[in-house]
């Protein structure tokens, strides 16, 4: 400390903090020998609070504003020592500036999978991750419970503890919620609010609160995801006969869109589809003897369909009506349709029962026939 700085400090004492970092939560004002004179000016900016500590005792908390450190506007300090000596005897005290703004985009995640009992899959494991924000709401309690005498306390020093609290509350609420895993994605907003409220309870003892909490992803183990994908594929394929018809229709459609050899490819695709169906239905001469035919199943229940267009729905329509609509252009491959038992809205071309409505006409017969 130079002689000029020392002399300047004897005549005026200005205490303030300008934060040039993104993660500092508490910063201690440093003065030579911690000597702060009676009548010093204290500037507390918006988004800050100043905690005054005198000889190890927390004396007062200052909200944003300009203060003169005098006894008449600091009644809490009237019983402390040395305040009556004025300029002649600076008192040894400390001032901690606390950042009261939000600390955003903080990461959290489950280090290990969470075990839960899913109503559809049974016992399973999930992982989750997301972001949250934190804020100091009680500077005095935060200083007493967490910071202590740390001269520069950053968010990294408490983030690990907060993540542990988040994972604990998240695991408890997810396991007790009874929400199926497949429905959790539709409820992440409500779950985030509930978890933020629960996490704020233990954080209140630290002088902190959690204004926002976001769940970005909830995922199953890779093996379970693979089995789920296979189950979805089987549901899309349906029975083997319908799958063969669907494959033939798709081959014909793809061939019709190929100007180089559309007629031949369409005929080949249709022939392959019918041949496959024939091979499945008729045993070969060297094949095993046909098994006794089981009793025919009950006739299928005809589906009725709803159509979504321009933000509105219409229907229900029978399959015959859907065929008429496909013929006059009111129903296209890209039209979204739904029927009872279907998992959400799908395009008409992705539904095997409706894809047949868009098959092209057969190719012309070969010459001479």
Query: pTM higher than 0.75, yes or no?
Result: no
Joined tokens for residue 304: 């009725």
Token pair 């500092």 is at which residue? 24
Distance between CA atoms of 195 and 189, rounded to whole angstroms? 10
User: CB–CB of 80/54 below 8 Å?
Assistant: yes
**Spatial separation of the C-alpha atoms in residues 271 and 264, rounded to whole Å:** 10
Pairwise CA distance, residues 310 & 308, whole Å: 7
Q: pLDDT tens digits, the chain, 369 residues: what are they?
A: 444 344 344 444 788 899 888 889 999 987 765 567 767 788 999 999 999 887 778 888 999 999 887 654 454 444 444 444 444 445 667 889 999 999 999 999 988 888 888 887 788 888 899 999 999 999 999 999 999 888 899 999 999 999 999 999 888 888 887 788 888 878 888 888 888 888 999 999 999 999 999 999 888 878 777 777 776 666 665 555 665 666 676 677 776 666 555 444 445 455 545 555 555 445 544 445 556 677 776 666 677 878 888 878 887 888 788 788 888 888 888 888 888 777 788 888 888 777 777 765 455 667 765
Task: Return the structure tokens found at 306.
Answer: 């709803």
């Amino acid at each position: 400390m130079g002689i000029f700085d020392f002399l300047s400090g004897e005549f005026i004492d200005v205490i303030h903090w300008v934060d040039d970092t993104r993660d500092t939560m508490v910063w201690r004002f440093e003065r030579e020998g911690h000597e702060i004179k009676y009548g010093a000016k204290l500037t507390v900016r918006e988004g800050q609070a100043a905690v005054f500590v005198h000889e190890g005792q927390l004396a007062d908390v200052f909200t944003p504003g300009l203060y003169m450190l005098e006894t008449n506007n600091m009644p809490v300090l009237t019983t402390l020592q040395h305040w009556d000596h004025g300029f002649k005897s600076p008192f040894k005290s400390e001032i901690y500036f606390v950042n009261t703004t939000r600390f955003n985009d903080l990461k959290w995640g489950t280090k290990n999978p969470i075990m839960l009992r899913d109503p559809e899959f049974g016992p399973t494991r999930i992982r989750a991750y997301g972001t949250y924000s934190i804020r100091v709401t009680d500077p005095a309690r935060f200083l007493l419970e967490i910071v202590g005498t740390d001269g520069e306390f950053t968010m990294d020093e408490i983030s690990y503890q907060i993540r542990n609290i988040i994972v604990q509350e998240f695991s408890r609420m997810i396991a007790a919620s009874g929400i199926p895993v497949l429905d959790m994605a539709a409820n992440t907003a409500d779950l985030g609010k509930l978890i933020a409220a629960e996490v704020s309870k233990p954080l209140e003892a630290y002088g902190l609160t959690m204004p926002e909490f976001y769940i970005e992803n909830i995922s199953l183990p890779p093996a379970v995801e693979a089995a789920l994908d296979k189950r979805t594929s089987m549901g899309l394929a349906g029975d083997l006969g319908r799958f063969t018809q669907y494959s033939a229709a798709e081959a014909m459609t793809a061939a019709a869109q190929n100007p180089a050899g559309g007629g031949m490819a369409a005929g080949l695709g249709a022939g392959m589809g019918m041949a496959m169906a024939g091979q499945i239905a008729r045993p070969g001469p060297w094949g095993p003897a046909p098994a006794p035919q089981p009793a025919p199943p009950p006739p299928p229940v005809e589906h009725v369909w709803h159509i979504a267009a321009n933000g509105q729905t219409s229907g229900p329509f029978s399959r015959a009506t859907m065929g008429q609509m496909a013929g006059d252009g009111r129903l296209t491959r890209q039209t979204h349709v739904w029927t009872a038992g279907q998992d959400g809205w799908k395009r008409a071309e992705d539904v095997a029962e409706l894809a047949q409505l868009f098959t092209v006409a057969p190719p012309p017969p070969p010459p001479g026939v």
